Amino acid sequence: MKTLSKLVQISAILATCLLMGGCDDVRVYGSVGYSSYGGYGGYGGYGSSVRIGGRIY
């Protein structure tokens, strides 16, 4: 009986972990690992010498 009880408890813990893992899946941006900008990285000071693009048509 004691062994069965422990098995139930372990199963419940595993089920909870699995379910919470499933919750993570719905966060569509939750697995994005990094930003192209590197957060507060050191881009800047280009003046207007850098040619960027933009709409033409």
Note the residues at the interface with another protein (CB under 8 A).
5, 9, 12, 15-16, 19-20, 22-41, 43-44, 46-48, 50-57
As measured in angstroms, the least distance from the Cβ of 25 to another protein is 8
Q: Between 3 and 38, name the residue whose CB sits nearer to another protein.
A: 38
> Of how many residues is the chain composed?
57
Return the ∠ at Cα 50 (arms to 45 and 56), rounded to 5°: 135
As measured in angstroms, the least distance from the Cβ of 27 to another protein is 5
Q: Phi/psi class of residue 33: alpha, beta or left (left: φ > 0; alpha: ψ in -120 to 50)?
A: alpha
